[in-house]
Amino acid sequence: MIDSRTLRIALLGAGNVGSQVARLLIENRTELAARAGADLELVGIAVRDVDAKRDVELPRELLTTDADSLIVGADIVIELMGGIEPARSYILKAVESGADVVTGNKALLAAHGSELLEATEQVGAEISYEASVAAAIPILRPLRDSLAGDNIRRVLAIVNGSTNFILDRMDQNGDSMADASQLARELGYLEADPTLDVEGWDAAQKATILARLAFHTSIDTERVYREGITGVTAEQIEAAKSAGYVIKLLAVAERLTAEDGTEGVSARVYPALVPREHPLASVHGGNNAVFVDAEAAGPLMFYGAGAGGLQTASAILGDVVSAARRHVAGGPGLVGSSHAALPLLSIDDVITKYQINLLVEDRPGVLAELAGIFESLGVSVQTVEQFVAEEEGLATLIVGTHSAREKALRATVEALREAKATARIVSVLRVEGAQ
Amino acid sequence: MIDSRTLRIALLGAGNVGSQVARLLIENRTELAARAGADLELVGIAVRDVDAKRDVELPRELLTTDADSLIVGADIVIELMGGIEPARSYILKAVESGADVVTGNKALLAAHGSELLEATEQVGAEISYEASVAAAIPILRPLRDSLAGDNIRRVLAIVNGSTNFILDRMDQNGDSMADASQLARELGYLEADPTLDVEGWDAAQKATILARLAFHTSIDTERVYREGITGVTAEQIEAAKSAGYVIKLLAVAERLTAEDGTEGVSARVYPALVPREHPLASVHGGNNAVFVDAEAAGPLMFYGAGAGGLQTASAILGDVVSAARRHVAGGPGLVGSSHAALPLLSIDDVITKYQINLLVEDRPGVLAELAGIFESLGVSVQTVEQFVAEEEGLATLIVGTHSAREKALRATVEALREAKATARIVSVLRVEGAQ
């Protein structure tokens, strides 16, 4: 299906990922042409400063500060500037002028995904964004295409490499949160301002994108329930380890029926206990993995590098070649649908298990008193472990619950906190991925 | 993009997978229509015997023995009969009449893939076959689309669930090959005639399909180098375990430069030693996994169920919805290209590591004598372990080599076999996935 056509590629941004994309488009031009069925000509690279120093040397004549002129006349526009504006306006301009768009901009997609997808669909173009979640790991196309005939029940994802690196160091090397974070900064895993990563904002954006594709539903990323990793302590990691768990920051998207019967989806981010034998438990360092549970397919996992300029460039180029093939074939683009329009349910409705670690008075009758609290709130206890605490007159109690609604679990923790027998709630963590 | 169009779906075959596909097409018709942008009407199911007993009850009026009439007028034909004929003729007929084809027929694709792809491309139709490798695991579309801009170096795949079940039982439970095989038969993992599985034919067919998509190259499945698992012993499994390895039947497809400089691909199937820390080592039971190493993306792994009627139906329906979307959008289909046309290189050219277990005379000078053999054939030794054997006067020697050409490694084993100091070569296994 090779023809003599040339497709004009415009690149916006030449940072870590952009410069690798430019290099690969130039170096592999012949091979990419054979795969795409058309020559892919990089016609220009829009940058803020033409003279800025870059890791990869780029042809000087391709660099321009005039993104607007570059976009007009391009067949495929690759947006790698990041941030909301001017990226959003440039993408809309590209789509209006009939170009296909490839982007890795998760913040923009999470905040304005519906607007961009609708604008794209209206003109019959296509917007692809495989690089926006889990870098090089093919996960968005598989969700959109390969699993298009299945019903996805749940997605559990490690999609933030920085926090996985930190938690993995704490788990594998016994580092404190401070030491692990310092190392992450030194190795370039953490930005100068780590808030987006450690507070779970980045993972929440990715949960939004995953939920859209998995459940054909557009959700508001601001309303994704979110807890970061800043409260995770070395003691919790140790306790998790001895109980057969590992703590992972998970982005969860799942189909859910609320207590009142409403069918909806839950999207949430929090550090959770994952059983050691679960495939997600062996995702180490800065790697990412997306675990998908589908009705027919059963459990699936997609694993690989979650960051890196070169790795992310792989996903961008996959989207570029796919867009080019569509251009050669003709016909309008495919846009992930949000026809299901399911409501985003509250964290209160989520069904999960709690692992509660508390200090209690070391005297007869305490266990019965606390067990009564669980019972009265309708939360069923699965495991109890009790041992003498270091503090005089106190015992440590570790209670694992059966699955229950978050609302009841939270009420239980509050009641435990108020109970006469309780000295202190040490830690409360949710369990994901257990039977 | 929902329109009022109805697409006519014809199903050929109502076995384990086919009956699940029919059930899901009927039960999920409304949801599938929303995703595909057109109603998907199952217009008929061609079977050999209309009255045969089936696991899933299917509407009697859809069943027919007249596949030919069913195919004419269908928009999408799903072929799940298996075998070469009449499946091949039916697919060609479907393509000629303008239908898109979805199939899971690995034997047919391995043997006649090029013919079918060319026929499909000529009329602008599309043939999809995600279900043919690793059942529900999305791997073929990711290779074709998501990794279209990357250069794949190597694919290491566990694609035969039956043999993985047997080897995993031997490894995890200490079963003998006979006991593990018997259990596999009882649980339905092995066919009455297990030759296709245990001799590696099934894996070789899948290696052929993977190599085509990974390297844009059509290869002859009959020429895929193949060793089955029948020679694997409980002793080998034990020895592997104590050396930090697990034995897996791998389908390997990789880019390779032959000794004479020829650029080509290698496709091969054999039981290999995989380091315990490699992601493939933790693929248990009947599961499948495909490990892909790409230049830009780095290492990726795709994991999930490798068999099952329902699981495989997920892949079939993903292809059906994707084909339907393309029908709605218009334009010709996308066909994986084989433009690279790389030669299939001989096993002699493969670069790998050997782990050689041999019994030698227990006397001074033996190690020097044998070391001389390795040296003279240009094979470098990485590890040597020697201990007293159970047999009087003999020692067990376990030699791990550095990477070398298969040809030199095989010559080394032959020379060792002839050496005066050697009593017996106990086992020779290749190592894959090590640094």
The 10s digit of each residue's pLDDT in B114-171 is: 999 999 989 989 999 999 999 999 999 999 999 999 999 999 999 999 999 999 999 9
- To 10 degrees, what angle do helices B309-329 and B16-27 make? 50
Scanning every residue of chain B, which has its alpha carbon at the shortest distance from the alpha carbon of A292?
A: B304
Q: Contact A34/B216, CB-based, under 8 Å?
A: yes
Q: Which CATH number fits domain B140-305: 2.40.10.10, 3.20.20.190, 3.30.360.10, 3.30.70.20?
A: 3.30.360.10
Closest Cα in chain B, distance from residue A249 (Å): 20
Residues in chain B with CB shorter than 8 Å from the CB of A36 are 148
B146 DSSP assignment: I
Residues in chain B with CB shorter than 8 Å from the CB of A137 are 297, 300
What is the rounded CA–CA span in Å between residue A110 and residue A103? Answer: 12
Q: Which residue spans of chain A are classified as CATH 3.40.50.720?
A: 6-135+310-329
Binding residues of A for L-homoserine: 191
Q: What is the pLDDT of residue B336?
A: 65
Residues in chain A with CB shorter than 8 Å from the CB of B310 are 296, 298
Name the residues of A annotated as catalytic: 206
Scanning every residue of chain B, which has its alpha carbon at the shortest distance from the alpha carbon of A304?
A: B300
Q: Which residue spans of chain A are classified as CATH 3.30.70.260?
A: 350-431
What is the rounded CA–CA span in Å between residue B124 and residue B99? Answer: 10
Q: How much is the CA Rg of chain B, to the nearest whole Å?
A: 24
A 179-238 → B contacts, CB under 8 A? 216
- With a CB cutoff of 8 Å and minimum separation 6, the contacts of A107 are A82, A83, A84, A205
Q: How much is the CA Rg of chain A, to the nearest whole Å?
A: 24
Closest Cα in chain A, distance from residue B123 (Å): 12
Scanning every residue of chain B, which has its alpha carbon at the shortest distance from the alpha carbon of A332?
A: B329
Q: Which residue spans of chain B are classified as CATH 3.30.360.10?
A: 140-305
> Average pLDDT by consecutive 10-residue portion of chain A (435 residues)?
78 96 96 93 96 89 97 96 96 95 95 93 91 95 94 97 97 96 93 90 96 94 96 94 95 97 97 95 95 97 94 96 87 71 95 95 92 95 91 93 96 96 94 89
Confidence tier at B340 by pLDDT (50, 70, 90): confident
Residues in chain B with CB shorter than 8 Å from the CB of A20 are 296
Closest Cα in chain A, distance from residue B73 (Å): 23
How many residues comprise chain B?
435
Q: Is B50 annotated as a binding residue?
A: no
Q: Nearest 5°: phi and psi at A236?
A: -65, -45
Scanning every residue of chain B, which has its alpha carbon at the shortest distance from the alpha carbon of A339?
A: B34
Q: What is the pLDDT of residue B54?
A: 86
B 285-324 → A contacts, CB under 8 A? 294, 296-305, 308, 310-311, 313-322
Omega of the bond leading into B86 within 30 degrees of 0 (cis) = yes
Buried b or exposed e, range A100-127, using 16+ CB within 10 angstroms: bbbbbbbbbbbbbbeebbebbbeeebbb
Interface confidence: ipTM more than 0.85: yes
Q: What is the pLDDT of residue A336?
A: 64
Q: What is the CATH superfamily name and number for domain B6-135+310-329?
A: NAD(P)-binding Rossmann-like Domain (3.40.50.720)
Amino acid (1-letter code) at residue B299: P
- Using a CB–CB cutoff of 8 Å, tell me whether B403 touches chain A: no
Neighbours of A407 (CB within 10 A): 15
Q: What is the pLDDT of residue B334?
A: 63
Overall average pLDDT of the B89-99 stretch: 96
Q: Is B372 annotated as a binding residue?
A: no
Percent of chain B having pLDDT more than 90? 86
What is the rounded CA–CA span in Å between residue A288 and residue A238? Answer: 23
By Cβ distance, the residue of A142, A311, A337 closest to B298 is A311
Question: Where does residue A42 rank: exposed (0-12), middle (13-18), buried (19+ CB within 10 A)?
Answer: buried
Contact indicator for A128, A101 with CB cutoff of 8 Å: yes
Contact indicator for B402, B384 with CB cutoff of 8 Å: no
- With a CB cutoff of 8 Å and minimum separation 6, the contacts of B326 are A331, B100, B126, B333
List B53, B93, B206, B248, catalytic entry: B206
What is the rounded CA–CA span in Å between residue A297 and residue A147? Answer: 8
Confidence tier at B321 by pLDDT (50, 70, 90): very high
B202-261 pLDDT, tens digit per residue, is 999 999 999 999 999 999 999 999 999 999 999 999 999 999 999 999 999 999 999 999
Q: What is the pLDDT of residue B328?
A: 84
- Using a CB–CB cutoff of 8 Å, tell me whether A330 touches chain B: yes
DSSP letters spanning A234-246: HHHHHHHHHTTEE
Buried b or exposed e, range B137-174, using 16+ CB within 10 angstroms: bbbbbbbbbbbbbbbbbbbbbbbbbbbbbbbbbbbeee
First to last CA, chain A: 49
Q: Contact A314/B325, CB-based, under 8 Å?
A: no
Nearest to A426 by CA among A362, A356, A373: A356
- Using a CB–CB cutoff of 8 Å, tell me whether B161 touches chain A: no
Scanning every residue of chain A, which has its alpha carbon at the shortest distance from the alpha carbon of B300?
A: A304
DSSP letters spanning A19-54: HHHHHHHHHTHHHHHHHHTSEEEEEEEE-S-TT---
Contact indicator for A339, B2 with CB cutoff of 8 Å: yes
- Pairs across A and B, CB distance < 8 A: 208
Q: Is B14 annotated as a binding residue?
A: yes
Q: Which CATH class is domain A350-431?
A: alpha beta
By Cβ distance, the residue of A150, A305, A339 closest to B318 is A150
Q: Nearest 5°: phi and psi at A262?
A: -65, 130
What is the rounded CA–CA span in Å between residue B98 and residue B87? Answer: 17
How many residues comprise chain A?
435
A344 DSSP assignment: B
- With a CB cutoff of 8 Å and minimum separation 6, the contacts of B61 are none
Q: Contact B146/A320, CB-based, under 8 Å?
A: no
Closest Cα in chain B, distance from residue A139 (Å): 8
Closest Cα in chain A, distance from residue B187 (Å): 19
**Which of A253-267, B186-200, B288-302 is least confident?**
B186-200
